[in-house]
Amino acid sequence: MGKALDGIRVLDLTQYEAGPTCTEMLAWLGADVVKVEPPGGEVTRTTMSDQPDLDSWYFVLLNANKKSVTLNLKSERGRVMFEKMVAGADVVVENLGPGAMDRLGLGYERLRQINPRVVAASIKGFGSTGPYAQFKSFEPVAQAMGGAISLTGSPEVPVRINAGIGDTNTGMHCAIGILAAIVQRQATGEGQRVEVAQQDAVVNLIRIRFRDPYVTGKATPRLGTKSQVTAPSNLFRCRPFGPNDYVYIHCASIEMWKALVGVLGRPELADDPRFKTPRGRAQHQDEIDAMVEAWTEKRTKHEATEILGAVGVPCGAVLDTAELLADASLAERQMMVPLDHPTRGRVMFPGNPVRLSASPTTVTPAPLLGANNEEIYGKELGCTSEELAALKRDGVI
């Protein structure tokens, strides 16, 4: 069966998380993604590894389904080889430091000159314009400047989020832009530049939080795990009271409230005028939370989830990473799949969350460094084995 992005060649100059998540998604959708790495490898292969002779899990998790070639873009021969690859490519993606592509002589205008159909995608902390254009950024910086940290934590202390909303989220936004540019190219015959700033992508994720300053003229407050518009909407402790033994319960409607109080053995509260609206319940949040937690404390988080979910109350156990790797539901849906890595062995691996009925994803392991040098440089660029040996000796590949 064919794939959605069959025939699309992507040159991947990305590093760390934001860029690799974008190109990994394109690879899962069927694009032929060639990761172009320095001769020593992309920085996260080794610097984040728990074992010096093995690729890091960080790298393995973010570079599935790709090919790998090594190339020194700072050398003249390396740039010439890369330009030959650009001539036959559909997409170039990079998230190097501000100005790096221009310093290499590979800025957008040069790429467009080589191949007018190329889609050139760039991920930066703050984009290519504005007062912060030359500032570097990583995940927590993007969270801070995009407003997410201001919304997270207790009223007294802001907290960073450990999900990749500054990195992976930006990568997904970039993938959307690339796909749109490919579609537009079908009509125009020309490529274009795609740019996504981490700050912008985080701002987009907190979009609904701007309702507070619109209404009150003040910044949105931090509320911890609670909601300001309904109750119950909170984390509740469960047996055996470990660090992640909690269930989140959220009642948005009167029907959900009626189902909840029925389970709690308090059906008379369904018609209590204090609790008939979300706003009314929010005004009695402490009373409601105490009643709900008196029930959850007698059950495990999984028991609470199964009982409440069965009657239509939105809820979810707090699952940690070890539990997710062993979760039967994720395995059944093939969000967690068994994967055999050539040096790391077999693991349960988080796969593609996007499911296409006519383009299913088969997850393959991240490539070893330079695994496709001979294929790309030999078969496609026409380098002989002697030339490849000389390129390696001279530090070009």
How many Å separate Cα 274 from the centre of its chain?
A: 41
Q: 278 — phi, psi (to 5°)?
A: -55, -45
**Is the bond leading into 240 cis (omega within 30 degrees of zero)?**
yes
* 32, 167, 200, 245: the active-site residue: 167
Half-sphere exposure of 317 (CA within 13 A, CB side): 22
Burial profile 347-361: b = 16 or more Cβ within 10 angstroms, e = fewer: bebbbbeeeeeebeb
**DSSP assignments along 281-316, one per residue:** HHTTHHHHHHHHHHHHTTSBHHHHHHHHHHTT--EE
Interatomic CA distance for residues 130 and 135, integer angstroms: 10
CB 55 within 8 A of CB 370: no
Annotated catalytic residue 327: no
Neighbours of 48 (CB within 10 A): 13
How many Å separate Cα 318 from the centre of its chain?
A: 20
- Active-site positions read 167
